[in-house]
Amino acid sequence: MTNKATILIIDDEEGIRDSCSQVLTREGYHANIADNGKAGWEHFKKSPPDIVLLDLKLPGLDGIQVLNKIKKRSFDTPVIIITGFATIGSAVNTMKQGAFDYLAKPFSPQELRVAVKKALDSRKTQEQSLTPSLKTARADDFAMVVGKSRSMAKVLDIVKRVSPTESTVLITGESGTGKELLATEIHNHSPRKNAPLVVVDCGALVETLFESELFGHVKGSFTGANMTKHGRFEVADGGTIFLDEISNISLNIQAKLLRAIQEREVTRIGNTKPISVDIRILAATHENLPDCVRKGKFREDLFYRLSVVPIHIPPLRERKEDIPLLINHFLLKHSKKLGKNFNKPSEKAIKAMLEYEWPGNIRELENTVERAIVLCQKDRIELEDLFYHGISSSPSFLQTAGKNHKSLKEIEKEYIKIVLQSQYGNRTKTAKILGIDRKTLLAKIKKYNLS
């Protein structure tokens, strides 16, 4: 993309249209304008631009409607939303529907120039990276995304579209749904696939060392800093950084992270000279980030920067048709690893696993299959091989006599108790078996009074 790129400005305010047009024309771009949604859409169809500046509040055909039409016709065209109504709801909605960025009025000429350049650079990278193999990517190419359900087909479609781009991606979903695997697939199908993918578990780092881990420090900058340390952002230079459980970062670090994302540069603790980094950012959380923003626990501006392309992975209980495929996938994986040959599990075993709710999602399912392979003395998994994990059709566990079935809470309580006992009260091992984090397990132990 060169400075001769064409930019379509759709805004009903004459002052905004004129000022944006003047700034962009001085930068060497071709600027076309439209004063309402319908006119803007007709202009887009007649002469597709390289980028669109789109006001959210327009008479007649509003900004959201225009955005949807543009994305259906040309998914790759970057659209920057400009609006004076910078609410959480509107921002989230536009990002979900494919907006590239979000500028709140009033914005400076420099902010406009930076946003436009970033969008055009992203499109250029995307066009260069769309090799024939990526253009014709099949679902089979994404080996770790297993599932044939409609919900997973939608996830995979977004992953295939966003992987070759430079866009920041926010992956959401419950613990154990495979957020890190999805991030790995996005990186592996991106132009940065031969560069490092650096994973940062934001839930595991100590708050006092967080800044040092992310941005690094120089020797002698604080007690214990015996040598210069390169932060994770520097290590990821040229590649991708994946910020897992991003909601665990404090507001203080969030401010510094926002600057690093915006400027693509970091400053080590104890130094004043910024270091430029060329990275793509992926993030994930099991929390509801818009809710965290409303509660003041997460910065609104950082949320906008992270959720350029949001991807939500549904829990396993909402896509049970994927369970048989996942069982076979894990059966092959762990049979080969353990040097065993296993046939397809019995119908009763599969039925029991289909009926189970899987609170730990895919992680719990994989643990169950691996454990069954290790403990099974035959060449196929039977229903009794699942009882150790708490999955069984036995009345003593799932239901009482007759039709008096137990509630999900009762089953969960009894199941956690069984696994705790099998691990002799070891909560770390129990949490791993359940496919949940230790904090969640402790909360459930307290809830069910199991301690």
Q: How far apart are the first and last CA of the chain?
A: 62
Question: b vs e for 92-125, b when ≥16 Cβ sit within 10 Å of the residue's Cβ?
Answer: bbbbeebbbbbbbeeeeeeebebbbbbbbebbeb
Measured CA to CA, the distance from residue 313 to residue 322 in angstroms comes to 13
Residue 194's alpha-carbon distances to 35, 113, 125, 134, in angstroms, are 45, 31, 15, 15
| Per-residue pLDDT, 25 | 92
Helix (H) or strand (E) holding 35: none
The residues with which 244 forms a beta bridge, in sequence order, are 201
* E strand residue ranges, 231-378: 240-244, 265-266, 275-276, 280-285, 309-312
Measured CA to CA, the distance from residue 58 to residue 82 in angstroms comes to 11
Q: What is the CATH number of domain 6-128?
A: 3.40.50.2300
Residue 34's alpha-carbon distances to 2, 10, 41, 70, in angstroms, are 23, 5, 9, 15
344 Ramachandran zone, left/alpha/beta (phi>0; psi -120 to 50): beta
Measured CA to CA, the distance from residue 29 to residue 400 in angstroms comes to 73
Q: What angle do CA 167, 172, 173 make, to 5 degrees?
A: 150
CATH of 150-314, one of 3.50.50.60, 3.40.50.410, 1.20.1580.10, 3.40.50.300: 3.40.50.300
And the tokens for 383?
A: 């229903």
| Per-residue pLDDT, 413 | 84
The phi and psi torsions of 83 (rounded to 5 degrees) equal -160, 155
Measured CA to CA, the distance from residue 40 to residue 9 in angstroms comes to 8
| Per-residue pLDDT, 146 | 64
Intervals of CATH 1.10.10.60 along the chain: 394-451
Question: Among 398, 393, 406, which Cα is nearest to 350's?
Answer: 393
| Residue 3 CB burial class (10 angstroms; 0-12, 13-18, ≥19) | exposed
The phi and psi torsions of 82 (rounded to 5 degrees) equal -120, 130
If one counts every other C-beta atom within 10 angstroms of the C-beta of residue 321, the result is: 13
Write out the chain's pLDDT in tens, 451 residues. Answer: 445 789 999 999 999 999 999 999 999 999 999 999 999 999 998 888 999 999 888 888 888 889 888 877 776 788 998 877 555 456 556 666 677 877 877 888 888 998 898 888 777 765 554 333 333 334 344 555 667 788 888 898 899 999 999 999 999 999 889 899 899 999 999 999 888 899 988 877 776 678 888 888 888 777 767 777 888 888 888 999 999 999 999 898 899 899 888 888 888 888 888 888 899 999 999 999 999 999 999 999 999 999 999 999 999 989 988 888 898 888 888 887 777 777 888 888 888 888 888 888 998 898 888 888 887 878 888 887 776 555 654 444 444 444 456 677 877 888 888 777 767 678 888 888 888 888 888 888 888 888 6
Intervals of CATH 3.40.50.2300 along the chain: 6-128
DSSP 134-163: HHT--GGG-TT----SHHHHHHHHHHHHHT
Intervals of CATH 3.40.50.300 along the chain: 150-314
Question: b vs e for 369-408, b when ≥16 Cβ sit within 10 Å of the residue's Cβ?
Answer: bbbbbeebeeeebebebbbbbbbbeeeebbeeeeeeeeee
And the tokens for 381?
A: 């998994």
| Per-residue pLDDT, 145 | 61
| Per-residue pLDDT, 163 | 93
- Per the CATH hierarchy, to which homologous superfamily does domain 394-451 belong? Homeodomain-like (1.10.10.60)
And the tokens for 333?
A: 């994986």
| Per-residue pLDDT, 396 | 44
Maximum distance among all Cα pairs of the chain, rounded to whole angstroms:
80
Count of alpha carbons within 13 Å of 374, Cβ hemisphere only?
9
